[in-house]
Amino acid sequence: MIDAIVLIETEPARIAALADELVASRGVAEVYSVTGEYDLVAMVRVGAHEDLADVVTQGIACAEGVRRTHTLVAFRAYRDADYAWDLGSD
């Protein structure tokens, strides 16, 4: 499994609609609206580098309202399993 983080700069009027469109796309697991230089962050999970290339270059980068992207490929994932199980327990 290949995990990648795609930072996305968008046209301001398209942020919410684009987030909804992207999260419904193949390979896009999650989309976050964020502050800072980029407007959205997409978490992409695919089986092969060729799939990642398709998701980013033929999907995300070509979507209406996307100005630019910056992709980070993860080498290894570090997760706090206890944190995930504690969510919603209060």
Task: Kindly report the length of the chain.
Answer: 90
User: Cα separation of 58 and 77, whole Å?
Assistant: 25
**At 39, which amino acid appears?**
D
Instruction: Count the neighbouring beta carbons within 10 Å of the beta carbon of residue 14.
Output: 17
Q: What is the model's pLDDT at position 78?
A: 83
Q: Which domains does the chain have, with CATH numbers?
A: 12-76 (3.30.70.920)
Mean pLDDT by 10 residues, the chain (90 residues): 96 97 96 98 97 97 97 88 59
Q: Of 72, 57, 17, which is closest to residue 39 (Cα–Cα)?
A: 17
Tell me, yes or no, if the pTM score tops 0.95.
no
